[in-house]
């Protein structure tokens, strides 16, 4: 006669926790990619960040300049915004 061993509740909770953690990480990655894509492609979004959250925009510029030393996004944005003022 075969005896069945029931699965412990601990194992069930660990599995459920791992699934929730994986789903949370996937959502966080999707949101962060969406924000990065918006900042990287839309000058108006960078202007919004410049006006409301300058430290985040500064971080974006610094990361870009660290990765590519010839990055001129900051100068292009500032010159464009100055031209739009007048």
The total number of structural domains that make up the chain? 1
Q: Is residue 9 part of a domain?
A: no
Is residue 26 domain-resident?
Answer: yes
Helix axes 43-52, 54-67, angle to 10 degrees: 130
Q: Would you say residue 74 lies in a domain?
A: yes
- Each residue of 29-71: pLDDT tens digit? 999 999 999 999 999 999 999 999 999 999 999 999 999 988 8
Residue 3 belongs to a domain: no
User: Quick check: is 69 in a domain?
Assistant: yes
Is pLDDT of 1 > 70? no
Q: What is the pLDDT of residue 4?
A: 74
Model confidence pTM above 0.75 = no
Core vs surface per residue 51-82: b (16+ CB within 10 A) or e: eeeeeebeebbeebeeeeeeeebbeebeeeee
Q: What is the mean pLDDT of the chain?
A: 91
Supply the pLDDT for residue 76: 93
Within-domain flag for 10: no
Boundaries of domain holding 50: 15-85
């Amino acid at each position: 006669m075969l005896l069945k061993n029931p699965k412990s509740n601990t194992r069930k909770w660990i599995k459920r926790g791992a699934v929730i953690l994986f789903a949370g990480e996937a959502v966080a990655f999707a949101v962060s990619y969406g924000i990065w894509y918006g900042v990287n492609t839309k000058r108006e979004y960078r202007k919004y960040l410049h006006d409301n959250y300058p430290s985040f925009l500064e971080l974006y510029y610094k990361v870009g300049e660290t990765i590519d030393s010839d990055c001129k996004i900051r100068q292009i944005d500032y010159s464009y915004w100055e031209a739009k003022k007048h």
